[in-house]
Structure 1
Amino acid sequence: MWKDYSIGFIKKNRASSVSVLVAAFISALFLSLLCGLFYNFWNYEIESVVLEEGNWQGRISGAFEEDEVSEIENFANVKTALINEDLSDGQTLVVDIRFDDMRAVYQDMPLIARQLGIPETSVSYHESLLSSYFINDPQDSNPPLLMAFYLFVLLLVSVSLILIIHNSFSVSMNARVHQFGIFSSIGATPRQIRTCLLQEAAMLCVIPVLIGSFVGIALTFGAIQAVNILADGIVGRHEAAFAYHPLVFAVMILTSFLTVLISAWLPARKLSKMTPLEAIKNTGELQLKRRKKSRILAHLFGTEGELAGNALKAQRKSLRTATLSLTLSFLGFALMLSFFTLSGISTNHTYFERYQDAWDVMATLKDTEIGDFSHTDEIHALADTDSVIYQKANAVCSIGADALSEEVKSLGGLDGIAGSEVSMADGIYAIQAPIVIMDDSSFAAYCEQIGVSSPENGSVVLNRIWDNRNSNFRYKEYVPFLSGNQDAVTLRNPEDAAAAVAIPVLSLTQEPPVLREEYDNYALVQFVSFSTWKQIQGTIGNAQPDTYIRILSEKDRTLTELSAIENELTNVLGHDISFEVENRIQEKIDNNAMLNGYKLIIGALCVLLALIGIANVFSNTLGFVRQRKREFARYMSIGMTPEGMRKMFCVEALVIAGRPVLITLPVTAVFVWLMIRASYLNPMEFWSAAPIVPVALFIAVLFGFVGLAYYLGGRQILKCDLVEVLQSDYM
């Protein structure tokens, strides 16, 4: 009997049945898509970490024999223990360890070190890989939470999807309270009523959930391919491969069916607990517990606005998901576009525009000292180019207080400007003094540029310090660091204060060589030739392992021209050196592609949230049609025209779509204002590039879909015989 009744109800009440079908399909689709994207993102992050940093979980280094590696392999829970040839040398072995249960890595690694007689300071952990598996150091008070944040977002969106199905069932079942009251009065038990409603849920949702799940998997595959196409050509990025674990599918299907079961059971339980008298008395209409005047709507739209306000208040709980989803989606979309706009302006200021005349092609020679590089003449001989070959080193400069410039003293002294960036002992300041070691011909050309006649032996000092009292980091102004009568500077080894050397000062200048370098605000940068560096290298040491080649084109600076220079440079360097080459224009293209990829991912999440909200609006609007028939029949009985009903629907749609906009725009404006102030940008720079068109398009789509939902629901109400609705309920 109950089975026949459920089948008959589904056939004769297509609107409410379609509402539940669509809600189940959309929820399963989005849940499948979200789970698939999260799993693929997680898998890609792990692949990237393994490719860049190696597939190890714990690392141990020390002066032990190779045969002791077998002891590590025999340790309980150790899966593999391999010697890292790239990091090991004659005195120290470095062993990369993987575990069967990696969650025990922070407990097992100290035990292994103790067994080998090695201090725990020789133990290191692959934190970036372990954190991807949600494994963090128990002693770390600030563990990385990025993956946990993504998981939280996934759960938050999943809850929103669950509410869509719940609301659809709630609307459908609440519309039948009167009917089930009659059944209860003639002997139907609460258990029979719950069973009837749950079997309806099963019949309606099994096929939509399965179809939605498979469509979600297909969309995940398409999204991965789209990301690969957008990111094609980005240097250093490996292609994302679609992956889908059976466990993900099992969890998603189980979650979907549990969602359906819980969503149907909650209103069914509430309905079955009502007394027959309460149920029969229930008309299925929207009820407002406490009426309040909607003064703004009444003032703007008259009686229809007042009625629309009361209807929205009565639907407040059921529309909560829609309001939250639409607000979050629009807020996220607007903030995302504003953030990327500000980020792009800032990046252009600090990188692309700042260094566009400083370099066109850069090569980084890995683990190669400038003295070991044998292609210097060939690099300088490249046609129509200007090139500099240089290496960097670290040193500390000792300066007396009397050597400071008058400008520094007038600003409150070095302590007042640099603060903790400098230290002082016995009247002598210890100041960071980075050394830029240029090949001899490049250094000679630089000295000629700044008017130094004898560049053989000595240092050119970048004599400037940031005036942070009268300028900000965006638009820096500098004052002289030292007074102009410095004949020599004393450089010290940062790791051995007793190792010091005095070298002549060839010039104090505020004009650095044209290099792609960012110099410290409170440092005394030293530019020296390779010949000078050879004389002080033994004392200062601390040279960085890589050498750099900066090339500027003297012809048309197009992508084709720079690519040709890049190819020539690659041919000169050959295969005997490990190097990386960068192309300024190509790097900007890659940067834009990465930003577009980020926009696509975050924008897709915002669109997903918007679709969840819109789906909830459709679910509520179409599902409440039966409940609102009596409401509008009464309005017509007292003289409301169809035009007035349409106006009322328009007001409701306007409020539902307009509320997220009214909340979001002021919040976004405050966010943009704070970001502009924090970054010291000119506000007009942002407004000239503000994402007005995408935001306006998003608003238009938002209003369009909400309006469409109300149009479809209102058309169904206006098509039915409202006089008959007041007379009896259809069984």
Structure 2
Amino acid sequence: MNIVNKLTVRHLKQNKRRTLVTIIGVIISVAMVTAVATLGVSFMDLMQRQTIASEGEWHVLYKDVNKEQLKAIKNDEETKKVVLSRDRGYALLEGGQNESKPYLFIKEYNAQGFKQFPIELSKGRMPKASNEVVLSEHITSNAKVEYKIGDKLTLEVGQRTMPGVSDHVFGQEDPLQLEDEKTSESVTNKTTKSYTVVGFINRPTWEATWAPGYTVISYVDENTIGANDPVNATVVLKKVNSSLYDHAKDLAKQNKIGVPKFNNELLRYYGVTNNDNLNSMLFSLSAIIMAVIIIGSISLIYNAFAISVSERSRHLGMLASVGATKRQKRNSVFFEGIIIGVISIPIGIICGLLGIGVTFWSINSVIQGALGVTEKLTVVVTPLSILIACAISMVTIVISTYLPAIKASRISAIDAIRLTTEVKLTGKAVKTSKFVRKFFGIEAEIGLKNLKRNKRKYQATVFSLVISIVLFLTVSFFTSNMKKSLVLSQDRISYDISVSSGNLTEKDFRLLKSFSSLEDVTESSVVRELNMNTWINEASLADELQKMVKQDKNMLENGKFSYSVQIDALNEENLKAYAKEIGADYKELTNRDHMTGIVIDTIPYEDTTTGKYVEGKAIHMEAGQSIDLNFNYEDSKNETLINKVKIVALTDQMPMGISPAGIGGINIIVSEKGMEQLLNEKLHSYVQTSLYLKSKDPMKTQEEIEEIKESKMYVHNVYQGRQQEEQMIMLMSVFTYGFIALISAISIANIFNTISTSISLRKREFAMLKSVGMTPKGFNKMINYESIFYGIKSLLYGLPISIAVMYLIYRALMNSFSYGFTLPWISMIYVVAAVFVIVGSAMLYSSSKVKKENIVDTLKQENI
């Protein structure tokens, strides 16, 4: 180690406080980068494991392949595992008691399929031959026949078809087809199959509650594959990357296989997608967020080193006076950066990992309790994430030390010893407005002159505050908009179970309402629905329709466009709560003189041309206007005007159970009295009545309803699908608030670090002010005014820069979504308040230590 480096080490030891502050600043920066990288990797890992646990692990599906095609798939260099499967078909369940689930659904897998898909054996063993099956346990609880291991089953297995729809074969994703409250489908192309029951499995997670068949799993023998009896080949790949899409399509084309299907639900959590818009969005967002994080890290470390060099000016000048070259002085700063980095980077990485670990430990129970998630958030540390954290940290230290090092190399011996480069005074430089002294007093003027006199330290502090403001607002805006985008892409299902029926008798209606009193039900809503039509003027059409109409005027009839209208009547209790929530007049909604309603005028939908998720106006109308309600009876060729509904309010909020009508349609929420005003004898038979329930145990509640419901009532359990959507939103919320908490902590640490160090370096200055007669009260006023000047200046720069970055993030999100740009006003108000509170606290905390210093000792002091 050369003499200059030895002196650098000695100087660091002598100025322990300043060295410690610098090390802590770098540790916080490294911990932030590590935490963000680890959070991203861990979050993706959780979603991968959760998707595999519920849906199985696979990447590409080739449907209906023969032996030769299967051989080509197996021999492909990218193939790791191949699962063979086949939907053998449906057979009627003997003694079935659930009218909406009358079938057994026979699905076949090879041995690998039993490993790759979440099939949980509860009794017996898995099938080993094509004439063996395992049954789902919940079959026994829903059928009069009790099955046991060793039972022989003879089934007529076929396909679900519907008269008049000969080309379409219905699958498990299609609910039972009904018409006039009766089953309108049948099982055709039957083949007699004999099976032996060899075991029982838990209900598969992929079996939707509305699926018409109970799952029965058999074995597919590769030797039975023929031209007329193909199988589906589900492939697990060796490497998951963006090239898999083109590779799979090329393989299918070369071997004359149909278009492959991709497991996009799982692949997206590997960061792989074939959606160009989504790719652009993810790339843009990643670039913006990483840029913000790196700039924040650089600012934190740069401030520490800039203040360090400022304080070391005299030390560096002394080195120059005894012959140190520019290169040696520059390398002295770089060497200091290396020492700080060697100490701080490992500690920062450990702190980042520990912080994320504690966060995950504290939120796992909340997530599992609230949503029933089977997988846990675990800290996933990959060599790549650690290397990225180290690389970013080292780059930020190099960048942060570069400018101070260049500055250090240029300091001359005389200037450094006299500190003439630190404070350059001219009358113009420290000139203040007469307004400041007149209205705020001499203390404010001195405070402002202090800031002007110590311009570099003042700018460093303001820069730190600006970065903190930008970090907080940017992350807050990013995460809130990601949540909004996620909600836009969901179906807005806000209930667990729906029970629906056509025209009900009074007895049936009482029975339907009684389900609201079941033990686990937490919330309920009775909705009566009637679908009607109306004609809307061109000027009032949705924006998308207006574009279409401009291109093709033939879409209009007499200058108007036909809209579908979904009239939804809420019961008194739910309507009162809904009206209060959106600020509508409940009394006006129950007006007996004329029919009134609330129009849902803003809805989310997927644009079919661009593939974007859009939030837009369903209709352009105002409160007080009326809408004609027409109905087309089956025995009439023309529409009949039934009534008019006056708009009481317009909103974008949906009541529980109501789904958006989509573009070209509107939802109108009315009272039960309003619905009665609309109905006549004929229309009563067209009303659909539904009960929507939220339950603590949806599966149990469904079973209770099934036991007591009437035959014409249909139960639809959407809990599993909705649970997955809520899980995504919940995890997004964890990411949001965790990241905001992290950024807030870093911002506060950044500000305290900068201000406290700056105040410490001004001890001699404050001692001089006290020596010429400044009172403690005057000193406090000066410090307070300095805090205000810091806050105002940082907000003047920070807010516009934040808005610009937020707009860039908004433009990136618009690659996949479409909604208006809105500023996060609440977050901005928080920031304004926080800036003054944090700056004031930092100034008071730092100045409180300065007050205790002896004036004479401080004026003599060389090292801080």
Q: Identify whether the pair has TM-score above 0.5, normalized to the shorter chain.
A: yes
2:787 aligned with 1:653: yes
**Alignment correspondent of 2:34:** 32
Task: Evaluate the alpha carbon distance shift between residue 308 and residue 510 of structure 1 in structure 2; reply closer, same or farther with a 3 A threshold.
Answer: same
Mapped to 1, the partners of 2:281 and 2:833 lie a distance apart of: 36
Task: Evaluate the alpha carbon distance shift between residue 234 and residue 297 of structure 1 in structure 2; reply closer, same or farther with a 3 A threshold.
Answer: farther
Mapped to 1, the partners of 2:842 and 2:542 lie a distance apart of: 66
**Alignment correspondent of 2:628:** 479
**Alignment correspondent of 2:756:** 622
Task: Evaluate the alpha carbon distance shift between residue 58 and residue 728 of structure 1 in structure 2; reply closer, same or farther with a 3 A threshold.
Answer: same
Partner AA of 1:22 in structure 2: I
Mapped to 2, the partners of 1:317 and 1:51 lie a distance apart of: 53
2:429 aligned with 1:291: yes
Uncovered stretches (5+) of structure 2, i.e. residues with no partner: 88-106, 109-168, 170-227, 502-506, 518-530, 568-597, 602-616, 646-655, 668-687, 807-817
Matched residue of 2:368: which SS? coil
**Alignment correspondent of 2:70:** 69
- Please tell me whether the aligned partners of residues 361 and 562 of structure 1 are also in contact (alpha carbons under 8 angstroms): yes
Aligned length: 600
Mapped to 2, the partners of 1:287 and 1:414 lie a distance apart of: 66
2:329 aligned with 1:193: yes
- Please tell me whether the aligned partners of residues 29 and 213 of structure 1 are also in contact (alpha carbons under 8 angstroms): yes
Mapped to 2, the partners of 1:476 and 1:433 lie a distance apart of: 18
In the TM superposition, residue 175 of structure 1 has moved relative to its aligned partner by 1.2
- Please tell me whether the aligned partners of residues 27 and 345 of structure 2 are also in contact (alpha carbons under 8 angstroms): yes
Structure 1 residues 85-118: Cα deviation after superposition (integer angstroms, max 9, x where no partner): 3599977754434443433224423321231134
Partner AA of 1:13 in structure 2: N
Partner AA of 1:100 in structure 2: K
- Please tell me whether the aligned partners of residues 496 and 695 of structure 2 are also in contact (alpha carbons under 8 angstroms): no
Task: Using the TM superposition, name which of 67-76 and 331-340 deviates more.
Answer: 331-340
Mapped to 2, the partners of 1:8 and 1:32 lie a distance apart of: 31
**Alignment correspondent of 1:304:** 443
Uncovered stretches (5+) of structure 1, i.e. residues with no partner: 353-358, 365-369, 371-376, 388-396, 398-403, 437-463, 491-504, 526-547, 672-677, 681-689
Task: Evaluate the alpha carbon distance shift between residue 379 and residue 55 of structure 1 in structure 2; reply closer, same or farther with a 3 A threshold.
Answer: farther
Map 1:534-683; keep pairs closer than 5 Å. 550-551=690-691, 565-569=701-705, 581=717, 598-625=732-759, 627-636=761-770, 639-657=773-791
Pick from 220, 234, 253: which aligns with 1:96?
234
Structure 1 residues 183-209: Cα deviation after superposition (integer angstroms, max 9, x where no partner): 212122334434444444444554444
Mapped to 1, the partners of 2:545 and 2:290 lie a distance apart of: 45
**Alignment correspondent of 1:323:** 465
- Please tell me whether the aligned partners of residues 167 and 620 of structure 1 are also in contact (alpha carbons under 8 angstroms): yes
TM-score (norm 2): 0.55
**Alignment correspondent of 2:514:** 384
Matched residue of 2:242: which SS? helix
Map 1:106-117; keep pairs closer than 5 Å. 106-117=245-256
Pick from 318, 323, 330: which aligns with 1:182?
318
- Please tell me whether the aligned partners of residues 629 and 642 of structure 2 are also in contact (alpha carbons under 8 angstroms): no
Task: Evaluate the alpha carbon distance shift between residue 4 and residue 409 of structure 1 in structure 2; reply closer, same or farther with a 3 A threshold.
Answer: closer
**Alignment correspondent of 1:220:** 356
More strand per residue: 1 or 2?
Answer: 2
2:843 aligned with 1:710: yes
Partner AA of 1:172 in structure 2: S
Task: Evaluate the alpha carbon distance shift between residue 67 and residue 279 of structure 1 in structure 2; reply closer, same or farther with a 3 A threshold.
Answer: same
**Alignment correspondent of 1:273:** 410
In the TM superposition, residue 506 of structure 1 has moved relative to its aligned partner by 12
Partner AA of 2:19 in structure 1: S
Map 1:240-255; keep pairs closer than 5 Å. 240-247=376-383, 248-255=385-392
**Alignment correspondent of 1:143:** 279
2:366 aligned with 1:230: yes
Mapped to 2, the partners of 1:209 and 1:96 lie a distance apart of: 45
Task: Evaluate the alpha carbon distance shift between residue 280 and residue 149 of structure 1 in structure 2; reply closer, same or farther with a 3 A threshold.
Answer: same
Partner AA of 2:411 in structure 1: M
TM-score (norm 1): 0.64
**Alignment correspondent of 2:296:** 160
Task: Using the TM superposition, name which of 424-433 and 636-645 deviates more.
Answer: 424-433
Structure 1 residues 386-407: Cα deviation after superposition (integer angstroms, max 9, x where no partner): 99xxxxxxxxx9xxxxxx99x8
In the TM superposition, residue 166 of structure 1 has moved relative to its aligned partner by 1.9
Task: Evaluate the alpha carbon distance shift between residue 207 and residue 664 of structure 1 in structure 2; reply closer, same or farther with a 3 A threshold.
Answer: closer
Task: Using the TM superposition, name which of 86-95 and 107-116 deviates more.
Answer: 86-95
Structure 1 residues 302-335: Cα deviation after superposition (integer angstroms, max 9, x where no partner): 3332343344451354124422243235646886
Partner AA of 1:614 in structure 2: I
Mapped to 2, the partners of 1:385 and 1:626 lie a distance apart of: 70
Task: Evaluate the alpha carbon distance shift between residue 579 and residue 351 of structure 1 in structure 2; reply closer, same or farther with a 3 A threshold.
Answer: closer
- Please tell me whether the aligned partners of residues 541 and 619 of structure 2 are also in contact (alpha carbons under 8 angstroms): no
- Please tell me whether the aligned partners of residues 50 and 129 of structure 1 are also in contact (alpha carbons under 8 angstroms): yes
In the TM superposition, residue 20 of structure 1 has moved relative to its aligned partner by 1.0
Mapped to 2, the partners of 1:691 and 1:430 lie a distance apart of: 38
Task: Evaluate the alpha carbon distance shift between residue 656 and residue 97 of structure 1 in structure 2; reply closer, same or farther with a 3 A threshold.
Answer: farther
Mapped to 1, the partners of 2:389 and 2:263 lie a distance apart of: 31
Structure 1 residues 315-357: Cα deviation after superposition (integer angstroms, max 9, x where no partner): 354124422243235646886999899999999xx987xxxxx
Task: Evaluate the alpha carbon distance shift between residue 712 and residue 435 of structure 1 in structure 2; reply closer, same or farther with a 3 A threshold.
Answer: closer
In the TM superposition, residue 594 of structure 1 has moved relative to its aligned partner by 7.7
2:172 aligned with 1:42: no
In the TM superposition, residue 597 of structure 1 has moved relative to its aligned partner by 6.0
Mapped to 2, the partners of 1:244 and 1:338 lie a distance apart of: 25
More helix per residue: 1 or 2?
Answer: 1
Matched residue of 1:79: which SS? strand
- Please tell me whether the aligned partners of residues 182 and 280 of structure 1 are also in contact (alpha carbons under 8 angstroms): yes
Q: CA RMSD in A?
A: 5.9
Mapped to 2, the partners of 1:510 and 1:589 lie a distance apart of: 40
In the TM superposition, residue 65 of structure 1 has moved relative to its aligned partner by 0.9
Identity %: 19
Partner AA of 1:240 in structure 2: K
Task: Evaluate the alpha carbon distance shift between residue 655 and residue 520 of structure 1 in structure 2; reply closer, same or farther with a 3 A threshold.
Answer: same
In the TM superposition, residue 570 of structure 1 has moved relative to its aligned partner by 6.3
Mapped to 2, the partners of 1:565 and 1:108 lie a distance apart of: 47
- Please tell me whether the aligned partners of residues 132 and 147 of structure 1 are also in contact (alpha carbons under 8 angstroms): no
In the TM superposition, residue 266 of structure 1 has moved relative to its aligned partner by 4.0
Task: Evaluate the alpha carbon distance shift between residue 475 and residue 362 of structure 1 in structure 2; reply closer, same or farther with a 3 A threshold.
Answer: farther
Task: Evaluate the alpha carbon distance shift between residue 386 and residue 517 of structure 1 in structure 2; reply closer, same or farther with a 3 A threshold.
Answer: farther
